[in-house]
């Protein structure tokens, strides 16, 4: 999205159709009473039109055409323009009253990522933010995002800005809607995970990311990569958009072991849990569903029997880890990450077997 400067003239005044009508009457030296007699309109109606208390209806516009000589569409256009301007000015005032909400949204970061255009006028910038969220006004934001807010409270990090969290989630929705997905098929998704597991051996993010997206889309799951907004601290999320599931990844920890564990963790939520559930991953929670997802990811990446075989002779060397990973068909960095998590290896041992990504590695993804 390119940065643009929007210049839209919005008058801060109103010209009522009644003012124009009154000027015509003065030029013609015609009183309101005479106009009433000539048009058949009640004197009260004429007076209320002039005072902007009543609109010029199509029927009235036609009568004014016959008496004053200006076409009916002239009077109808005056009325329409007045109504439009009146609504627009009211909208400007409403936006003015909500500018403080704009300060809670991470606008600068969203502009940097290309999610928003950069606009100097704050009211126009607010309009762009509302369009991004797909809402008419800030009043609708807490309503639309209420269920996500509840899910985020469960992470015990609610002191962070949920406006920023919702912006990250919303960008995931936008990207997901751009992915053509088949209808969700649980059996097909399970089978696809076997193919995806083998994809963990691919080190090039420009290759693996599009392939992961394509494979999951064939089973009705949209996978999107969305950079983390500052101070949000989220590395994954799962939810449903109509008849397709959405897995959103942030590359927060950059290493391939974290990326793949997060993906299979989120896949477990799709396979094991209710479609109404929303999962936002940003802390270790003592939650049955989270532990179920963790266990699914662990077993899928490294089956327990194979892990026991690796550890049979004690702490493995890096050469043994690499050979083991090649044998079972996954990236050695994933094995290292698992051993570090299980305290078999110190956190500073084996990291050279991991692959570390940056957003530049994503290419056009």
Distance CA 255, CA 253 (A): 6
| pLDDT of 285 strictly over 70 | no
Domains and CATH numbers, the chain: 17-97 (1.10.260.40), 162-362 (no CATH)
- CB-count burial class (<10 Å; 0-12, 13-18, 19+) for 30: middle
- Asked which of 77-81, 158-162, 235-239 is least confident by mean pLDDT, the reply is 158-162
What tens digit of pLDDT does each residue of 194-214 get? 999 999 999 999 999 999 999
Gap between the Cα atoms of 220 and 109, Å rounded? 31
Instruction: Please name every residue paired with 223 in a beta bridge, in sequence order, or none if there are none.
Output: 247
pLDDT at 2 over 50: no
Taking CB atoms within 8 Å and a gap of at least 24, the contacts of 184-191 are 184/219, 184/220, 184/221, 184/243, 184/244, 184/245, 185/219, 185/220, 186/271, 188/218, 188/219, 188/220, 189/216, 189/219, 189/220, 189/221, 189/267, 189/270, 189/271, 190/271
Q: What is the pLDDT of residues 302-322, one digit of tens each?
A: 999 999 999 998 999 999 999
The pTM (predicted TM-score) of the whole model is 0.81
Please give the helix or strand (H or E) that residue 126 lies within, else none.
Answer: helix 122-133
Q: Give dist(CA 63, CA 50) in Å, integer.
A: 15
Distance CA 125, CA 314 (A): 60
Residue with tokens 């997060």, as numbered in its chain:
262
Mean pLDDT of 162-167: 90
- What is the pLDDT at residue 91? 83
CB 114 within 8 A of CB 53: no
Report CA-CA distances (Å) from 100 to 110, 128, 129, 313, 356.
17, 15, 13, 62, 39
Residue with tokens 């959405």: 246
Cα 321 off chain centre by: 40
Average pLDDT for 294-298: 96
Give the whole-angstrom CA distance, residue 281 versus residue 297: 14
The gap from C-alpha 34 to its chain's centroid, in whole angstroms, comes to 60
Residue 4's pLDDT band, with cuts at 50, 70 and 90, is: very low
Q: CA of 167: how far to CAs of 158, 171, 177, 221, in Å?
A: 15, 6, 15, 21
**Cα 164 from Cα 306, distance rounded (Å):** 41
């Amino acid at each position: 999205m390119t940065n643009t400067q929007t210049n839209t003239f919005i008058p801060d005044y109103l010209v009522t159709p009644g003012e124009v009508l009154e000027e015509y009457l003065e030029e013609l030296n015609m009183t309101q009473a005479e106009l009433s007699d000539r048009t058949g309109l009640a004197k009260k109606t004429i007076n209320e039109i002039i005072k902007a208390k009543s609109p010029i209806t199509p029927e009235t516009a036609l009568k004014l055409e016959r008496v004053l000589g200006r076409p009916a569409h002239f009077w109808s256009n005056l009325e329409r323009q007045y109504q439009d301007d009146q609504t627009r000015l009211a909208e400007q005032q409403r936006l003015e009253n909500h500018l403080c909400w704009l300060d809670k949204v991470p606008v600068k970061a969203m502009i940097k990522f290309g999610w928003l255009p950069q606009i100097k006028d704050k009211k126009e910038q607010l309009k762009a933010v509302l369009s991004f969220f797909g809402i008419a006004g800030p009043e609708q934001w807490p309503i639309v995002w209420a269920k996500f807010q509840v899910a985020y409270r469960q992470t015990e990090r609610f002191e962070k800005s949920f406006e920023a969290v919702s912006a990250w989630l919303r960008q995931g929705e936008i990207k997901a809607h751009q992915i053509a997905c088949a209808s969700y098929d649980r059996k097909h998704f399970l089978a696809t995970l076997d193919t995806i597991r083998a994809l963990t051996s691919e080190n090039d993010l420009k290759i693996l990311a599009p392939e992961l997206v394509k494979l999951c889309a064939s089973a009705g799951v949209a996978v999107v990569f969305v950079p983390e907004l500052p101070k949000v601290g989220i590395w994954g999320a799962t939810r449903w958009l109509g008849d397709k599931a959405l897995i959103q990844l942030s590359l927060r920890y950059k290493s391939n072991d974290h990326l793949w564990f997060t993906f299979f963790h989120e896949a477990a939520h799709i396979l094991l849990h209710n479609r109404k559930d929303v999962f936002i991953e940003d802390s270790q929670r003592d939650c049955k569903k989270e532990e179920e997802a963790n266990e699914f990811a662990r077993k899928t990446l490294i089956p327990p029997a194979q892990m026991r075989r690796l550890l049979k002779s004690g702490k493995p060397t890096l050469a043994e880890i690499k050979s083991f990973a090649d044998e079972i068909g996954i990236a050695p960095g994933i094995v290292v990450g698992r051993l570090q998590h299980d305290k078999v290896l110190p956190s500073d041992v084996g990291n050279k077997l991991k692959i570390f990504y940056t957003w530049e590695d994503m290419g056009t993804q």
